Amino acid sequence: MGRVRKPKPARFICALMGTPQGPWGVVRSRMEERFGLVILESPPYPFTHSRYYEPEMGRELIKFFWAFGRPFPREELVEAKLFTNTLEEELGSYREGRLHRVVNLDPGYVTDAQLVLATTKDYSHRIYLGQGIHAEVTLIFRNGAFRPLEWTYPDYRTTLVIGFMEEVRRGLLAERRRRG
């Protein structure tokens, strides 16, 4: 029998998507209140990997990532996703009985071994966590780099995203060394 151990805290990250003129200041303020200061930000890139969001959010969408400085207990992923869903709804508007979001927020965390994302969508490779939220291992760290999996979204396979997640991981490990 293995011993039950609490895992080391992770680094909270969030993927953000919307138009370049989106309410990013409001989003940042609300998220920093909840998760601590943003300590790393990726460059924005045009989100051209899918047209799935265009009917709801329009064209010429951008995507970027934030990493937050406060240690993130992994068991709080459900609450984080519920928070970001609420924020998406508050910033969006209802038309014809349907929510039209102006931002899409996909929270997750980076550990020394993986990038995990939260989602409301069930699928064969996702684990149910509770309250309608599932977790997906999106990237794994192997042989010195993050590697995509069969189901990894196309943009998470790019050198920009993988490089950002590796930078987040390096910062997390450096912080752990400083703290002992």
- Show me where the domains of the chain are located: 10-179
- As a whole number of angstroms, the distance between CA 11 and CA 13 comes to 6
Question: What is the CA 103 to chain-centroid distance, rounded?
Answer: 13
| pLDDT tens for the 180 residues of the chain, in order | 999 999 999 999 999 999 999 999 999 999 999 999 999 999 999 999 888 888 899 999 999 999 999 999 999 999 999 999 999 999 999 888 888 999 999 999 999 999 999 999 999 999 999 999 999 999 999 999 999 999 999 999 999 999 999 999 999 999 999 987
Q: Output phi, psi for 132, to 5 deg.
A: 80, 10
Backbone conformation region of residue 20, classed left if phi is above 0, alpha if psi is from -120 to 50, else beta = alpha
Task: List, in order, residues 6 or more apart from 34 with CB less than 8 Å away.
Answer: 80, 83
The predicted model scores a pTM of 0.95
- As a whole number of angstroms, the distance between CA 58 and CA 97 comes to 18
